[in-house]
Amino acid sequence: MSLRNAVMAALLDGESSGYDLAKAFDASVANFWICTPQQLYRELDRMEADGLISARTVEQERRPNKRLFSLTERGREELTGFTSGPHKPTAIRDELLVAVLAADRGDVEGVLASIRERKQWAEAKVARYERLRAKLLDGRSEEDFLATAERVGPYLTLLRGLSFERDNVRWCARSLTVLERRGARLDAPG
């Protein structure tokens, strides 16, 4: 049920269409919760049926109509209830790690290529999160921001996404070193 809660958390910033939510998810919530647009639309329908959000249709010229969703009082209550916990711990669930686990008995070169690709991807993510962070801080020091901002939740979750990707970069680099050195030794043993 956490997609529901993630959507409600995203709607704390104000009303939004499904389409915009999908993009917003991509830009901020995606640090820690990803979903496809289809999943979103389906969930939004259910949430409306459950009275957690309400929709108003906005007619547009030269564009398809859109439905703007906003949190209802019930939605706010549900969300507060959710924040009270408890929350199950999670683990990383990553195909690449499965591949690395099996690398010694698989296609080592292929795994190396995948790690290199992932490293680049993670570096791009880090850069992106850094930009988002700068945007949130908006010139203020972190200390200043934390003291004055209305909400710190989005900042804290951004930090988690940031350090996760930094960690990915470090681990990729380390694994590359280990697997490359090993490959070299296996090619020319002794």
CA R_g for the chain: 21
| Residue 141 interacts with, from its own copies, DNA, none (CB under 5-8 Å by kind) | none
* Residue placing its CB nearer to its own copies in the complex, 51 or 81: 81
Q: Which of residues 116-145 bind DNA (CB under 7 A)?
A: none
* Residue among 158, 103, 107 at smallest CA distance from 129: 158
Residue 80 binds its own copies (CB under 8 A): yes
Could you tell me the smallest distance in angstroms from the CB atom of residue 129 to its own copies? 11
Torsion, Cα of 165, 171, 174, 177 (10° steps): -80
Q: Considering the rule CB under 7 A, would residue 105 count as an interface residue with DNA?
A: no
Residues 8-37 that bind its own copies (CB under 8 A): 8-9, 12, 29-34
Token pair for 6: 């993630």
- Establish if 147 lies at the interface with its own copies (CB under 8 A): yes
Pairing of strands 16-17, 53-58: unpaired
Spatial distance between the Cα atoms of 163 and 186, rounded to a whole number of angstroms:
34
Site of interaction with DNA (CB under 7 A): 1-4, 17-20, 23, 34-39, 41-42, 45, 60, 62-67, 93
